[in-house]
C-alpha cells in the first residue's frame, strides 16, 4: 500500500511539472524579444547597482525588449521597475520557496514556479541575452549554466554579459589560472561571455550581436 501511494504521488508530480511548462510557454511565447537580468536579491534601493539595473530595464524597454527577472527584490526589482515605469513588458518568473519570495510590484506578467528546472528552461528559451549583475549562489548558478549550454552547443549562442568588472575580476582570474591553465576548458571558452560597466554598453553589445544599428 505504501509503494502504491509513492507511485501515485510521483505520477501526479509529472502532471504538475507539465502544467508549469504549459503555463510558462503560453505566457512567454507572446512577449517578443526579451532580455534576462540576474543579480542579488539583497541589494537595496540605495545601491549603485540598483540604480544601474533600473536604468538598464528602462533602456531595454525603450529598445523594444521585454525584461525577464526572477521576480524578487534587489536587482530583479530594479530591472523590472525600470522596464515597468518605461511602459515596457516586465516579466517575473517567481520561485516558490520555504521562506516565500514575494514578487516585486513592478511586474506586468507574473508566473510562479514550484520547480527550479522548469523555471530555468523558461529563462533560456525566451531570452535573447543574459545580463548578470553582482550576486550570490543563484546568480552564479545561472551564469555558469548559461555558458555551459553555449559551450556544449545545447543552446544557440547568445550574449552573456557580466556587469561590473571589479566585482567579477577575481572569478575571471581564477577561470584563467585554474580552468584554462589546467586544460579543463579551452581558452576560447572565456570568449563566450563579456564584461562591461554601464547599461548603455550592455545595450550596445546586445544590438551589435543581433546586427541592429
- Topology annotation, domain 2-209: Rossmann fold (3.40.50)
pLDDT at 110: 95
Instruction: Classify burial at 194, counting beta carbons within 10 Å of its beta carbon; exposed 0-12, middle 13-18, buried 19 or more.
Output: middle
How far is 128 from 63, CA to CA, in rounded Å? 13
pLDDT at 89: 98
Note the pLDDT tens digit of each residue in 110-147.
Answer: 999 999 999 999 999 999 999 999 999 999 999 999 99
Residue 204 has pLDDT above 80, yes or no: yes
The domain locations on the chain are 2-209
The more confidently predicted of residues 89 and 100 is 89
pLDDT at 140: 97
pLDDT at 97: 72
Amino acid at each position: 500500500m505504501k509503494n502504491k501511494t509513492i507511485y501515485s504521488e510521483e505520477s501526479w508530480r509529472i502532471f504538475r511539472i507539465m502544467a508549469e511548462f504549459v503555463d510558462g510557454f503560453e505566457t512567454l511565447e507572446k512577449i517578443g524579444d526579451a532580455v534576462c537580468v540576474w543579480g542579488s536579491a539583497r541589494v537595496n534601493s540605495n545601491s549603485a547597482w540598483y540604480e544601474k539595473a533600473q536604468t538598464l530595464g528602462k533602456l531595454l524597454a525603450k529598445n523594444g525588449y521585454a525584461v525577464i527577472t526572477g521576480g524578487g527584490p534587489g536587482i530583479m526589482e530594479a530591472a523590472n521597475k525600470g522596464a515597468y515605469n518605461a511602459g515596457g513588458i516586465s516579466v517575473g518568473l517567481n520561485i516558490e520557496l520555504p521562506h516565500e519570495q514575494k514578487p516585486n510590484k513592478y511586474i506586468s506578467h507574473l508566473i510562479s514556479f514550484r520547480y527550479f528546472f522548469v523555471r530555468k528552461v523558461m529563462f533560456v528559451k525566451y531570452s535573447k541575452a543574459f545580463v548578470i549583475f553582482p550576486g550570490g549562489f543563484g546568480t552564479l548558478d545561472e551564469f555558469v549554466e548559461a555558458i555551459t549550454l553555449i559551450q556544449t552547443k545545447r543552446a544557440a549562442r547568445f550574449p552573456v554579459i557580466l556587469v561590473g568588472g571589479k566585482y567579477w575580476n577575481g572569478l575571471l582570474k581564477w577561470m584563467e589560472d585554474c580552468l584554462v591553465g589546467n586544460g579543463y576548458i579551452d581558452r576560447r571558452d572565456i570568449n563566450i561571455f563579456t564584461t562591461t560597466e554601464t547599461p548603455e554598453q550592455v545595450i550596445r553589445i546586445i544590438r551589435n550581436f543581433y546586427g541592429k544599428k
